[in-house]
Amino acid sequence: MIRSDFIIVGGGIVGLATAYKLQLKFPQKTILILEKESEIGMHQTGRNSGVIHSGIYYTPNSYKAKNCKDGREQLVDFSKQFGVKFETCGKIIVATSEEEIPILDTIFEKGIENKTPGIQFLNSEEIKEKEPFIEGLKAIWVPTAGIIDYVGLCHQFIKEIEKINPLSKCILNCTVKEVSTDNLVTSKGDYSAEKFIFCTGLFADRIAKKDQVQTDLQIVGFRGDYYEMTEASKSKIKNLVYPVPDPKFPFLGVHFTPMVDGRVECGPNAVFSFKREGYTTTSFSFKDSFEALTYKGTWKLFFKHWRKGLDEYKRAFSKRLFVKELQRMMPSININDVQPARSGVRAQALGINGDLIDDFKISEKGNSIHVLNAPSPAATSCLAIADEIISVI
């Protein structure tokens, strides 16, 4: 039996940010992070858009709104202090039709309520000044949005944890098999601790069930595919460029994202995934599919939004349709300007009524804490979410 003061299950960004904040608060305590993969950040952390969100979109006073604003400030301060690669490049949210303008205005009002710094409206000429190849009727300029190397950030968290307490470690290739009140059975032996913190993303609901936590949700995976602008075309984008999102969904739409390594990505879409860690259009897991498709909430979601889901699926299999979506904001882009890139799967908590659970959800049972839902902007908010978890402790 290996004993530690704290054990964190999940070496993604939320788990590692929590470990870092815990180690700062309790420098004498030992912390073990158990990660099932051979490297950290292999799933949502390393497969998201790499964006530092500003907090403009979120319902005022929600967990998301408060944690995103606080989290962004902490993230930027940490990155400056420890040399994590990031850039505050700014973002424009572009309305391309008259129908989108009222939604854009609502986003701006939320931004004002959330005290998002420096936001301002742009007219069509001002859009062109920021982004010469983007065409829109009206936009919001968000100067505090940026880009970052989230996997690099995770490695820095581990370095700082080990500096504070050399006995604290991240243990790779360690899969949790059983959970009990004071014991974890893993592929690398048994572990015990004063407190267990589970930050397991795509498997949050399954781990909670192993711990006999009663939940009113299930995790359903949504795959997002990215394209990458070619070397010849990537100079057409200078900042983050987002469409006006559909207010019925927690996804922000297909957008242009400059990356910290100089590439420019386009995406992601959002399609139901038949495998929780399935990163291709044909990825399939019988267990994951059976679990998702026998859950009442999944079918209620499908029936409510079948048309949107069908459109997303068509785009997943058609480069032409994907580019057509990009042409709404950049009419001059063509099929030869982009090439297929990576994909990711988003862990989305779904209620039994078919509603996508939009806010963060943290649950406590005995000496265990479970992060049940940490959707975007969880990466931006990681240090603030860590503070929330520590306040529960």
pLDDT digits (tens, 9 = 90+) for 361-375: 999 999 999 999 998
Per-residue pLDDT averaged across 57-80, rounded?
94
pLDDT digits (tens, 9 = 90+) for 217-266: 999 999 999 999 999 999 999 999 999 998 877 677 899 999 999 999 99
Average pLDDT, the chain: 95
- What DSSP designation does 375 have? -
pLDDT reported for residue 226: 96
pLDDT reported for residue 198: 98
Q: How far apart are CA 340 and CA 326, in angstroms?
A: 14
Instruction: End-to-end CA distance of the chain: give it in Å, rounded.
Output: 24
- pLDDT bracket for residue 122 (50, 70, 90): very high
pLDDT reported for residue 259: 96
pLDDT digits (tens, 9 = 90+) for 81-110: 999 999 999 999 999 999 999 999 999 999
pLDDT reported for residue 250: 64
pLDDT digits (tens, 9 = 90+) for 128-176: 999 999 999 999 999 999 999 999 999 999 999 999 999 999 999 999 9
pLDDT digits (tens, 9 = 90+) for 186-204: 999 999 999 999 999 999 9
b/e code 237-269 from CB counts within 10 Å (16+ = b): bbbbbbbbbeeebbbbbbbbbbbbeeebbbbbb
Per-residue pLDDT averaged across 5-34, rounded?
98
- Tokens for 84, please give them: 């994590």
Phi, psi dihedrals of residue 229, rounded to the nearest 5° = -70, 140
Q: Are 26 and 5 in contact (CB under 8 A)?
A: yes
pLDDT reported for residue 45: 97
pLDDT digits (tens, 9 = 90+) for 134-144: 999 999 999 99
Instruction: Reply yes or no on whether the pLDDT at 28 is more than 80.
Output: yes
pLDDT reported for residue 84: 98
- Tokens for 338, please give them: 């982009």
Domains of the chain are 2-46+151-214+358-392 (3.50.50.60), 91-143 (no CATH), 217-351 (3.30.9)
Bridge partners of 51, per DSSP, are 147
Instruction: Reply yes or no on whether the pLDDT at 14 is more than 70.
Output: yes
- Whether cis (ω within 30° of 0) applies to the bond prior to 132 is no
